[in-house]
Amino acid sequence: MTRIFNLLAAFCLIQILSLTLHAQTEMPLYPNGVPNAKQAEDRETNQNNVVRNVSKPTLTAFLPPAGTGNGTAVIVCPGGGYGVLVIDREGYQVAKALNKQGIAAFVLKYRLPDDRIMQDKAIGPLQDAQQAIRTVREKAKEWAIDPAKIGIMGFSAGGHLAATAGTHYDSAFVANPQKTSLRPDFMILVYPVISFLDKIGHKGSSANLLGPAPAQERVRYFSNELQVSRTAPPAYLTHAGDDTVVPVSNSLRFYEALNAQGIPTDMHIYSQGQHGYPKVPTFDEWFGRCLLWMRTVGVLAAP
């Protein structure tokens, strides 16, 4: 009897481990070669969960336990001014919180703009975001996802990337032989960079993505408040009024542009919080409001 019990225990442990491994799987974003790339040494580093010099983008799937998923999926873009990726706090931890709500999450480790590794560094992150949307949508059945409930979420400069994906989806920057929709079904933008215009733009993100002296045409193209159309996806924005790194005007301008086009949009501004929400609001506070919005617009079922 003891031997049978030990065998059953070992079998259960193997099953649990296999489920855990399956639930968090990192995969190359481009199985057949990275577009817009130059031959260059891989210099990626990860120190204290801050990733630098990403040249080989990946997508890490966090799938909810079997039987608990609700079909909604979110691609998560960590921030870091297009210079680094805060991969744990604004990536993996958020993905795990989404899983607890039955939401499949995919953390995007996108390429950081660098002339050394890219022919055109300005479009590199957008290519990766579009490829992530394409991948999740084309594998929706395999991952038990509703292909009409795939959103994108971003923090700070990752919010700029998410907003860019949500406003530039009609222009494909990746190969898309199946003509898969590159439009995210919703956007969640947390203290996002939106604009590169002089008065409110985040200079560090702009310089890293576009270079020190970009053409005005490119500045306007990547200022997402100027690129909103009537078919833009619904959005949730949250920001702090005392943010001294990325002015709250970024979220305000984007909200106004979305609202002018009749796009369902919620925005919550905290009087205190600074950039990154280091102390307030708590994660449960802003994340709870985000979940409420998702249920309100119908991309997440009621609990």
The DSSP annotation for 223-264 comes to -GGGS--TTPPPEEEEEETT-SSS-THHHHHHHHHHHHTT--
Binned at pLDDT 50, 70 and 90, residue 303 comes out as: confident
What CATH number does residue 210 fall under?
A: 3.40.50.1820
pTM: 0.92
Closest CA to 64 of 107, 111, 20: 20
- Can you give the three-state secondary structure of 131-178, one letter per residue? HHHHHHHHCCCCCCCCCCCEEEEEECHHHHHHHHHHHCCCCCCCCCCC
199: containing domain: 44-297
% of the chain at pLDDT higher than 70? 92
Answer whether residue 35 is part of any domain.
no
Mean pLDDT calculated for residue range 96-119: 98
Residue 199 confidence class, pLDDT cut points 50, 70, 90? confident
Average the pLDDT over 212-227 and give the result: 97
C-alpha closest to that of 24 among 143, 182, 167: 143
pLDDT above 90: residue 5: no
Residue 171 lies in a domain: yes
* pLDDT score recorded for residue 8: 47
Number of domains forming the structure of the chain: 1
CA gap 246, 252 in Å, rounded: 12
Structural domain includes residue 28: no
Q: Is residue 7 part of a domain?
A: no
Q: CA-to-CA distance for 144 and 73, rounded, in angstroms?
A: 10
Is residue 31 predicted with pLDDT exceeding 80?
yes
| pLDDT of amino acid 60 | 98
Provide Rg for the chain, Cα atoms. Answer: 19
> Would you say 70 and 104 are in contact if contact means Cβ atoms under 8 Å apart?
no
Question: What is the spatial distance between Cα 129 and Cα 162, in angstroms, rounded to a whole number?
Answer: 7
**Considering the domain boundaries, does residue 251 fall inside one?**
yes
Higher model confidence: residue 91 or residue 9?
91
Burial class (CB in 10 A: 0-12, 13-18, 19+), 232: buried
pLDDT (mean) for 90-99? 98
Strand partners, 237: 189, 267
- pLDDT, position 21: 41
pLDDT tops 50 at residue 266: yes
23, part of any domain: no
Residues 168-180 have pLDDT tens digits of 999 999 999 999 9
- Asked, for residue 176, whether it belongs to a domain, the answer is yes
What mean pLDDT comes out for the span 269-290?
Answer: 98
Instruction: Give the integer Cα–Cα distance in Å for 89 and 160.
Output: 17
pLDDT of the residue at 22: 45
Mean pLDDT of the 20-28 span: 74
- From the number of C-beta atoms within 10 Å of its C-beta (0-12, 13-18, 19+), residue 254 rates as buried
Q: Nearest to residue 100, comparing CAs of 65, 60, 67, 151?
A: 65
196, 250, 72, 185: CA torsion to nearest 10 = -60
- State how far the Cα of 193 lies from the Cα of 127, in Å rounded to an integer: 18
Mean pLDDT on 242-258 = 98
